[in-house]
A and B are shown apart, each in its own frame.
Chain A
């Protein structure tokens, strides 16, 4: 290697170094510390370091904690499936049936509420779903129900709030996939005698599957780690994993347990990643 190359390289390292140091100091190191704390013990108010698996064992043995993981998984699974099923047709209609020059507007409108603050959006659903909310008032006004429906502070409300957010996100990702498809594929399938349905089933769907899986994975990751929506909309009957983590921090100041539960949350996300890794194209989101 010539000395010019060496200086060049040294310079290049100098450019990467600040970003790298930042991420190491404020992400990698905190994560390592958190992992270390997760295997420590609380004795009174003090943290005793060591290698104890108490927190992990307690998590899986204590139904009130372990149930949080199950509830999170159930809600996230439901949200992911419903959101994909609602968003795909919407993206398809915008990409295939809305005239080309209106598509961008149609898409921007479809994701407009994205730009309200996240906290405010959950709050807005509370206004819609609450006891005196718009839906109950409307249904009672029409005489369809006698007493208000209990939607707010239930799992249903969390799911609705989540689905609202992720339908927007998925419409974006699926649309960008559909629009990249050359119309020649569909045309060729039609020329070869395929019906509209089998064209979709055997040509369009497989081609857009990577985009759908990527969007679904993002939905899974963001949904399972979210604290705000279940906290505002879900009430206190069924706590999700992030809610339980916050509970450990807030009421108990139990950092070891909160850390252990965070590591478990991350392990779940990692498993989900490997489950759909072969279809994921994260760099193309």
Chain B
């Protein structure tokens, strides 16, 4: 009896969780102007429209560029900071850790507004660069805390051995520390990429002419419901799932061990 109730509950909740995605994907194949029932189709014409749409493809490219560069930067800065703070007892290290984590506790809207205010004053126009700077801010705390948590004692010993054998600090970092942290570094990097890739409000306030994909999709929504939006949404979903599956079988499996 309890078991049956459990399975029914599981079934209903999965239904709720999957409903919007199922509707999204189904009506991306709609052979009609509106992505609502009844379902007519299937057709691939909306996918063609999406792939042939210059604005959308440009936004896709912009999103990739911003996500890769800002995540790379966040990872680099986070790695250096985590390395130093986990290896050395520095005066004020609690404060420094606090500052590095702080952006995590503030909503993106506030981060965006602060940056917009400052960029306006120093004359940096809304752009992909401005957005990228903002994305480093949201991802740096994430990269820092993942790597800080991953730096354990056995690495410390290996690093000390390398130093005793005469390796320079740069060599220690590049040849000893980094290779031992490949899995958490990849995890931090790809998490950052997903956050940056999907981030809306910072990109919305800090871009103007070259926009990222979520902003472009947002402006498509203004013209109402369209199967074209379903198609681009389904494509984004498919891309994220593919990345996720690859990660699941490579990186995360290692992280868990």
Contact = CB atoms under 8 A, between A and B. Distances in A.
Q: Do A and B come from one complex?
A: yes
B175 interface: no
Given A33-B117, A117-B236, A8 B109 contact: no
Interface stretch (B45-53, B151-159, B181-189, B197-205): B197-205
A109 interface: yes
B38, B78, B90, B145: residue with the most chain A Cβ atoms closer than 10 Å: B90
Contacts of A110: 13-14, 17
A113 B36 contact: no
A117 B198 contact: yes
A93 B10 contact: yes
A49 to B, nearest CB: 12
A173 B48 CA distance: 39
A27 interface: yes
A126 B233 CA distance: 13
Nearest to B244: A115
A211 interface: no
A124 interface: yes
B178 to A, nearest CB: 13
Nearest to B90: A12
Contacts of B106: 27, 31, 266, 269
Contacts of B117: 30, 33-34, 37, 255, 259
Interface residues of A, number: 78
B99 A90 contact: no
Residue of A23, A167, A168, A228 ringed by the most chain B CB atoms within 10 A: A23
A242 B113 CA distance: 11
Contacts of A14: 84
Given A120-B24, A269-B107, A9 B90 contact: yes
A179 interface: no
A191 B27 CA distance: 54
Contacts of B44: none
B99 A116 contact: no
Interface centre among B96, B103, B110 (most CB of A within 10 A): B110
Contact of A22 (B20, B23, B77, B218): B77
Interface in B212-257: 213-214, 217-218, 221, 225, 229-230, 232-233, 236-237, 240-241, 244, 248
Interface of B, helix, strand, loop or mixed by DSSP: helix
Chain A interface mostly helix, strand, loop or mixed?
A: helix
B162 interface: no
B58 interface: no
A26 B136 contact: yes
A262 interface: yes
Contacts of B87: 12
Residue with the highest number of chain A CB atoms closer than 10 Å, among B20, B80, B103, B169:
B20
A134 B200 CA distance: 27
Interface string B88-100: 1010000010011
Contacts of A37: 117
Interface string A151-167: 00000000000001001
B209 interface: no
A116 to B, nearest CB: 4
Interface string A117-142: 11111011111101011100110000
B107 A225 contact: yes
A242 B109 contact: yes
Contacts of B103: 23, 27
Given A19-B81, A259-B117, A26 B137 contact: yes
Nearest to B232: A120
Contact of B84 (A15, A124, A134, A137): A15
Contact of B214 (A119, A132, A225): A119
Contacts of B180: none
B100 A23 contact: yes
A259 B113 contact: yes
Nearest to A29: B118
B75 to A, nearest CB: 11
Contacts of A117: 198, 213-214, 217, 233, 236-237
B21 interface: yes
Interface in B55-114: 77-78, 80-81, 83-85, 87-88, 90, 96, 99-100, 102-103, 105-111, 113-114
Given A23-B100, A120-B233, A228 B200 contact: yes
B54 to A, nearest CB: 20
Contacts of B84: 11-16
B34 interface: yes
Given A20-B96, A110-B13, A242-B109, 4 more contacts: A23-B99, A97-B6, A117-B213, A225-B108
11 contacts: A16-B80, A20-B81, A23-B103, A26-B115, A33-B118, A124-B24, A124-B233, A127-B27, A128-B20, A227-B200, A266-B107
